[in-house]
Amino acid sequence: MFRIIAITFVLVASILSVLAAPATELEKRKTYNGKATWYVAGLGACGDWDDGKSNNVVALSRLRWFSGANCQQWVSIEANGQSTYALVRDECEGCEVDHIDLSEAAFQALADLEVGELNNVKWHFMPRGFEPW
């Protein structure tokens, strides 16, 4: 009886750990569609200081944050017929699940700051180790 309980416990714990894991490689290949806004970057949730006027930085929704598991991951972003890359360095507390908050430099690669918000923004994670420049 103890053996059955122990096996059941291990099986349930294994399933729960898979469900709670950060974005999988398959999920990282998925293209998300949401909106983009911009913010003044500084000390991000990844623990790095960024000058958002010159660095392409992105803050992910807390629902895609996964306790910082996506820090230092490059993201490809397309909107308005333009595209750019930005490095995950921050968390956006007020963002919906596929909403991304971009540094000034990253947003300006897609539109003027005066626009303020872009809709129908497509974005996806790049493979670990990717370097755009």
Enumerate the domain spans of the chain: 32-125
Q: Which DSSP helix (H) or strand (E) runs through 65?
A: helix 62-65
pTM for this predicted structure: 0.78
Q: Taking the CB of residue 48, how many other CB atoms lie within 10 A of it?
A: 16
pLDDT tier for residue 3 given thresholds of 50, 70 and 90: low
Distance CA 51, CA 16 (A): 39
Q: pLDDT (tens digit, 9 = 90+) per residue, 72-82?
A: 999 999 999 99
The CATH number of domain 32-125, selected from 2.40.40.10, 3.40.50.1860, 3.40.50.300, 3.40.980.10: 2.40.40.10
* 58: Cα separation from own chain's centroid: 7
Q: pLDDT (tens digit, 9 = 90+) per residue, 41-58?
A: 999 999 999 999 999 999
pLDDT at position 25 is 54
